[in-house]
Chains A and B, each alone.
Chain A
Amino acid sequence: MNDTKIDTLLAGPIVAINIGLEQFAISLAEQSVDVVQVDWVPPAGGDPEMLDLLDQLL
């Protein structure tokens, strides 16, 4: 059976994108994990209707 992406994750190494709290990226970097930090802000100004519209367009 071919490896799933779960198997690949468990086999390592972890390559991560951290979206939100920066401390989580810092603690991963401290463990030598290759991680990029995304400084997330609410998309579309946080307007749920606009967000739905945006999702439909993409």
Chain B
Amino acid sequence: MPSGFVIRKNQYYDSVFLMSVNRRILEVKGVQQTAVLMGSPTNKQLLLDIGIQAAQIDAAGPNDLIVAAVADSQSVVADVLGRLDEWLNAVEEKETTGQQLRTLEEGLTIQPQANLAVISVPGEYAAREARKALEAGLNVFLFSDNVPIEAELELKQLAAERGLLVMGPDCGTSLIGGVGIGFANVVRRGPIGVIGAAGTGLQEFTCQVHNAGLGISHAIGTGSHDLSNQIGGLTTFAALEALERDRNTKVIAIVSKPPSPEILDRLLERIARCSKPVIGCFLGVDPRSMQDRKNFQFAATIDAAVALAIAACGGQSVQADPALTPEEIERIARESASRSPEQKYLRGILAGGTFCYQSQQILRAAGLRIYSNSPFDPSDKLEHPDRSREHTIVDMGDDFYMVGRPHPMIDGTMRRRRILAEGQDPEVAVLYVDIILGYNASRDPAGELVDAIREARQAASQRGGHLTVVASICGTLADLQDLAMQEKILREAGALVFHSNARATAACAALLGKGVLS
């Protein structure tokens, strides 16, 4: 396919600005793929991965802007790249008022009493900024990813020496004393503290606690590698000890993808000595490996962890298992009866990495083989993330989709395209999407997807079939996006809507004729 690129020397823009430019270019008819990014080593590798390489790109530096486009014709490529100034000016940031600060040190002169640095600079520079912050006595929320594991260990050891917390790298979510940092929801304060190596997992947990009427003391993100052998759970242990000391926390929960067995064992030993009850949801871990541990309750799903945490606080019980209501079962039977015989498969087009993981766990337990770009079992990996196979659940926040593009929680463009593509497949019976609300997420995530959902359903109807759409919403009524309106948009488009990824997944299994064990 025709492609081209332009390089502008010494024009630095941050990633949000670049993503806005990217989004505008992507809307041009005939454009298939674009990359608008700075010439850092990581970004140059990403360009290589999508097949764009040249000596000029190799020579570009981190302060040089690179804009690349892949389109249906060379004339579209030439047109798009020829109008670069137009794109840049259209997005040009509003003029900042007042003093513009460029470094942490300058920030500290204005804010000497700071106790937290929130860092979202490109990965190759992130450790340097985090180290400076720790040396200045600040706790760190490190959103940046692509930080080398050796650098992460060094930062976390430095933090441990100084009694500081490093949340991250690759930390999407924390809630400290009711304040959401990164992708977080508006959640009331309460007695449950939670530690999470899984961003959307923390959002799901905190929203469900809020929606059940209770609240969160703190939700502490650790970054996705914290419970690996290399890092040894340094942030998780520090967070556990801090929540144990915290007077507002009565119960502690931990939500994570599979930890290393050695670190899990050490963690369970520490939990046995914790003065507060601890609930653990370690997705993908065999519960038998955690049996009979003192002061520890195992939860197979996030929903079960929420139910156990609420019960441990003496709250009234909430639904722990993904059992469907009689009305939902009846609706599922009706939906299933309308299908054509060739419609057999599920396609989950998800924004949340933890949701992709938890859905696979539930569907596998129900006896279904699920392919994914981020699979449970390496043998179930899709050959190409864009090409679904049989039952597929795609993590659209995977690195493959993130080349100079906003995360699907911020912008629905890539998911919209994928939904339309799945709608063209006559074998698709069920389409599942997750909608994630909260700070820094899209202001209208359901609205961004709804036309594509309608179009996909219409395409199935025109073929004489029926496409069932299942949606889960992660959010609270207090979130800016208006949860009730988001739900209404989805229902009006014919979707079955759930307030839990686990329950939505159970509905998907039922639509495929499989029951889910609680």
Within 8 Å of chain A (Cβ to Cβ): is B315? no
In order of increasing CB-CB distance, the 3 nearest A-B pairs are: A46-B62, A20-B120, A4-B163
Given contacts A6-B164, A38-B102, contact A24 B118 (CB under 8 A): yes
Stretch of B49-57, B135-143, B268-276 contacting A (4+ beta carbons < 8 Å): B135-143
Docked complex: B440-470 residues within 8 A CB-CB of A: 440
CB-based contact A8/B115 at 8 Å: yes
Interface size class of chain B, counting residues whose CB lies under 8 Å from the partner chain: 35 or more
Given contacts A7-B242, A15-B111, A38-B106, contact A45 B440 (CB under 8 A): no
Question: A47 to B100, alpha carbons, bound, how many Å?
Answer: 23
Question: A14 to B116, alpha carbons, bound, how many Å?
Answer: 7
Question: A35 to B117, alpha carbons, bound, how many Å?
Answer: 9
Residue of A nearest to B136 (CB): A17
Besides A19-B129, A27-B180, 5 other A-B contacts (C-beta < 8 A): A7-B245, A9-B139, A24-B120, A31-B178, A47-B61
CB-based contact A43/B101 at 8 Å: no
Given contacts A4-B242, A43-B125, contact A38 B115 (CB under 8 A): no
Q: Which of A8, A21, A30, A35 contacts B14 (CB 8 A)?
A: A21
Cβ distance A7 to chain B, nearest Cβ, rounded Å: 6
Which residues in B have their C-beta under 8 angstroms from that of A48? 124
Within 8 Å of chain A (Cβ to Cβ): is B213? no
CB-based contact B143/A24 at 8 Å: yes
Within 8 Å of chain B (Cβ to Cβ): is A56? no
21 pairs from A and B in contact (CB 8 Å cutoff): A4-B242, A5-B115, A5-B162, A6-B139, A6-B163, A10-B242, A12-B179, A17-B111, A17-B114, A17-B118, A19-B121, A19-B129, A19-B133, A21-B143, A23-B16, A31-B439, A35-B118, A38-B101, A42-B63, A43-B103, A48-B124
Which residues in A have their C-beta under 8 angstroms from that of B101? 36-39
CB-based contact B102/A41 at 8 Å: yes
